[in-house]
């Protein structure tokens, strides 16, 4: 099997983030009701988060198969899968026989990295450095996808912590607000953090 290349995975992820950003920018035009802009913000965020999960799966699988980072560093893997598909099958099996492996929870990916790579490989430090932001993003994703009372309560806590105000913002409205101490919206902040973390993992 040829040595897999991590660069196309990183490039595709960044292209997906740009598409998510472009989708939201395209609807932020005068005349469109704000509640519709909020819905597009949620859709853009979901697309961004799904792309992040895909990046984790694809990069993890390739590093297991001997891929080097962009700078030429090769993680020390404890497994030797025959192919990328075989690597993905191993990861699915680790999740107790489901049809897919779960990449939505940071702590799950960290535990997986510690199991398969020496010192957690290229995943441990970047994921832990962005822990608060990644965990908040997952809870926002859950609130958009599930609409449960628990998810709404988690969203309210994120809003309070990040804005200092006890508002029951919808996920879309929160994502469109300018982050405290920044000129960026929360959506833009999260996109930037994902880009930085992906770059660190791929280095």
Structure token digits, residue 124: 């441990």
Q: Extract the residue ranges of the chain whose pLDDT is less than 70.
A: 95-98
Residue 93, pLDDT score:
72
CA pair distance 174, 159, nearest whole angstrom: 7
Q: In sequence order, what are the residues at sequence separation of 6 or more whose Cβ sits closer than 8 angstroms to the Cβ of residue 197?
A: 126, 127, 129, 130, 134
Residue 97, pLDDT score:
56
- What is the tens place of the pLDDT at every residue in 179-202? 999 999 999 999 999 999 999 999
Domain residue ranges in the chain: 7-202
Residue 96, pLDDT score:
62
Residue 28, pLDDT score:
82
Structure token digits, residue 186: 């929360």
User: Do 1 and 62 touch, CB atoms closer than 8 A?
Assistant: no
């Amino acid at each position: 099997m040829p040595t897999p290349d991590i660069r196309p995975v990183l490039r595709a992820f960044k292209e997906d983030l740009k598409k998510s950003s472009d989708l939201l920018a395209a609807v932020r035009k005068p005349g469109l009701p704000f509640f519709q802009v909020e819905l597009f913000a949620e859709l853009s965020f979901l697309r961004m988060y799904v792309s992040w999960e895909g990046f984790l799966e694809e990069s993890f699988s390739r590093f297991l198969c001997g891929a080097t980072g962009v700078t030429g560093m090769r993680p020390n893997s404890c497994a030797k899968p025959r192919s990328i598909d075989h690597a993905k099958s191993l990861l699915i099996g680790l999740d107790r026989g489901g049809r897919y492996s779960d990449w939505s929870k940071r702590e799950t990916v960290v535990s997986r990295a510690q199991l398969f790579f020496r010192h957690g490989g290229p995943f441990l430090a970047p994921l832990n450095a962005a822990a608060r932001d990644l965990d908040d993003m997952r809870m926002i994703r859950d609130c958009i996808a599930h609409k449960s009372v628990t998810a709404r309560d988690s969203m309210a806590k994120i809003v309070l912590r990040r804005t200092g105000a006890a508002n029951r913002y919808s996920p879309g409205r929160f994502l469109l607000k300018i982050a405290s101490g920044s000129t960026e919206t929360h959506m833009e902040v999260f996109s930037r953090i994902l880009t930085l973390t992906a770059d660190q993992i791929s280095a």
